[in-house]
Structure 1
Amino acid sequence: MSIAKVIEIVASSEKSFDDAVQQGLAESARSLRGISAIEVTNWTADVENNQIVRYKVTMHVAFQVEHSTSTH
């Protein structure tokens, strides 16, 4: 049986939406093991002087739940 847990994160980049997704995944991978999927649920951007200055994505990150094999 395989069980996954899903968390929601918000990531941003001054370069692009794609970079925001990549940054969010890279940062998530620093503290989560077994990431199996991501779903981008929202795309937004901060605008100043009619120019996009920051791209933001809201993502669901799915990762495998690890089961302990010890029998306490």
Structure 2
Amino acid sequence: MSLGKVIEVSAESDKGFEDAIRNGIQTASRTVENIKGAWVSEQKVHVENGRVTGYRVDMRVTFVLE
């Protein structure tokens, strides 16, 4: 029987949402093993002078405990 756990992660990028997701998963995987998936619950942008300057995602990352 497998047991899964979910953590909440926020990550940012100045390139785009996909890059922010990659950054979040990559950072979480430094301390969490067996990551199986993520659900992006929110996407936000930072705007300065009418231009998008940053992308942020809030996500729930699922991993399996051994």
Normalising to structure 1: TM-score of the pair?
A: 0.88
Q: Report percent identity of matched pairs.
A: 38
Q: Within 2, Cα distance between the matches of 1:19 and 1:37?
A: 16
Partner of 1:63: 63
Structure showing greater Rg: 1
Number of equivalent positions: 66
Tell me which stretches of 4 or more aligned residues in structure 1 moved more than 6 Å: none
Partner of 2:23: 23
Q: Within 2, Cα distance between the matches of 1:65 and 1:27?
A: 18
Q: What do residues 14-44 of structure 1 show as CA deviations (whole Å, max 9, x unaligned)?
A: 0000100000010011110000111100000
Larger strand share, 1 or 2: 2
- Residue 47 (1) aligns with residue 47 (2): yes
- Give, in angstroms, the shift of residue 64 of structure 1: 0.7
CA RMSD of aligned residues (A): 0.6
Q: Within 1, Cα distance between the matches of 2:37 and 2:18?
A: 16
